[in-house]
Amino acid sequence: MRRKGTTATISLPLCVLAAALLLLPQTGIAGAEQQFFRMGDLRLEGGGVIRDCVLGYRTFGKLNGSRSNAVVFPTWFMGTSADLEALIGPAKLVDPSRYFVIAVDAFGNGVSSSPSNSTTQRGALFPDITIGDMVRAQYRLVTEKLGIRHLHAVIGISMGGMQAFQWLAAYPGSTGKTVPITGTPRPTSYDLLLYRTVLAVLDNDGSKRAWNGKTPTVTAGILAMASTTPDHFIAGQDRSGLSSYLEKAQRDMKEHDPMDMGCQLKAMIKHDVFANLGDPARGAGKIAAEVLTVVSTRDLMVNPGPARELAGFLKGRSLVLDSACGHYILQCEMAKIAAAVSGFLEE
């Protein structure tokens, strides 16, 4: 996985796209420059403060004269705005020749303010964040830094899909279209079991500042088992190669700071859009945006149930896919998803 603007190949098991991105046609879209929005002190939903808060982002394409073609694209769990480049381009999820794409680094990913890079709140001193905090910072980036009052769309995958759902609840009139892909408005008990188990492996609260022992291998293994289905994993990885697979997964996992991972896991655990909406039926009535919800029925990392439930209340569109790829749905269904998303954005 790319980290802090490097160009390493995305291969880490916890990355939502994994090797699928390598299969996409390359179109010559130039890598966008990493930019930063320095926000001063940011007060958080839980009462804490990120001192000297910094939000990373990259932009692709041009803002049109009416400033109406902006699309926010937040990152997935431990993803970076550099990783999102593989999904931006003609015949991909969003075309920068038509839209001004704002790829945003979520807090805790090692690029935006995180436990690993804070100068005054490093490590355990970094405050707990929420998905709501991530989205509120993105809203400030869009309105204060970029001067955009209304978005054409918000698109997000996995934890990015959680942020897309949060945009709907927190800023219901700010975007015309929203596309959560394998995201959820609220983790199920099974999702929480996974996230809390990984957090426990990271030393209960993600407080370790460095990997030790077999923790990277165990963490990578748990996330790999949840990212796809047994059938798909068996088809792509035989018994004889499992040891080398785990060794590589351990090396890749060490590219990430365990405290950053713990920071984002805790944000996902606390995520609950339904709490913001109140009664889902009445709350959904406040949302004016058109919604396309993309889910995978065999997703073991983000259960599709809550997303489908909210999609029903919103009376929006759904793309429901049954694939052995599970959470890594883009690896099996990229062409179908890209066509649905691009068509939805163009309507």
The predicted structure's pLDDT at residue 17: 46
Tell me the average pLDDT of the chain.
Answer: 89
The predicted structure's pLDDT at residue 1: 35
The predicted structure's pLDDT at residue 289: 87
DSSP-assigned beta bridge partners for residue 43: 49
The predicted structure's pLDDT at residue 327: 97
Q: pLDDT of 183-211, one tens digit each?
A: 999 999 999 999 999 999 997 555 666 78
Q: pLDDT: is 87 or 203 the higher one?
A: 87
Average pLDDT over residues 97-119: 97
Residue pair 129/153 in contact (Cβ under 8 Å)? The answer is no
Question: 247 phi and psi, to 5 degrees?
Answer: -65, -45
Lookup: tokens for 139: 């809203």
The predicted structure's pLDDT at residue 285: 72
Q: pLDDT of 253-272, one tens digit each?
A: 989 999 999 999 999 999 99
The predicted structure's pLDDT at residue 30: 55
Average pLDDT over residues 314-340: 95
CA dihedral (197, 199, 205, 210) positive or negative: positive
- The structure tokens 């927190």 sit at 170
The predicted structure's pLDDT at residue 280: 67
Q: pLDDT of 7-57, one tens digit each?
A: 333 334 444 444 344 344 444 455 699 999 999 999 999 999 999 999 999
CATH of 29-187+274-346, one of 3.30.460.80, 2.40.110.10, 2.60.40.10, 3.40.50.1820: 3.40.50.1820
Residue ranges of E strands in 182-331? 290-296, 317-321
- Angle at the Cα of 86 from the Cα atoms of 113 and 170, rounded to 5 degrees: 50
Residue pair 345/152 in contact (Cβ under 8 Å)? The answer is yes
Average pLDDT over residues 134-142: 98
The predicted structure's pLDDT at residue 318: 96
Give residue 31's region: left, alpha or beta (phi > 0; psi -120 to 50). Answer: beta
Task: Indicate whether 319 pLDDT > 80.
Answer: yes
pLDDT bin (cut points 50, 70, 90) of residue 62 is very high
pLDDT bin (cut points 50, 70, 90) of residue 322 is very high
Task: Indicate whether 336 pLDDT > 60.
Answer: yes
3-state secondary structure of 52: strand
pTM for the model = 0.91
Q: Which of 53-57, 60-64, 217-221 is predicted least confidently?
A: 217-221
Task: Indicate whether 92 pLDDT > 50.
Answer: yes
The predicted structure's pLDDT at residue 29: 55
pLDDT bin (cut points 50, 70, 90) of residue 286 is confident
CA distance 73 to 96: 12
Q: Which of 157-161, 172-176, 183-187, 205-209 is predicted least confidently?
A: 205-209
3-state secondary structure of 157: strand
Question: 152 phi and psi, to 5 degrees?
Answer: -70, -40
Domain residue spans of the chain:
29-187+274-346
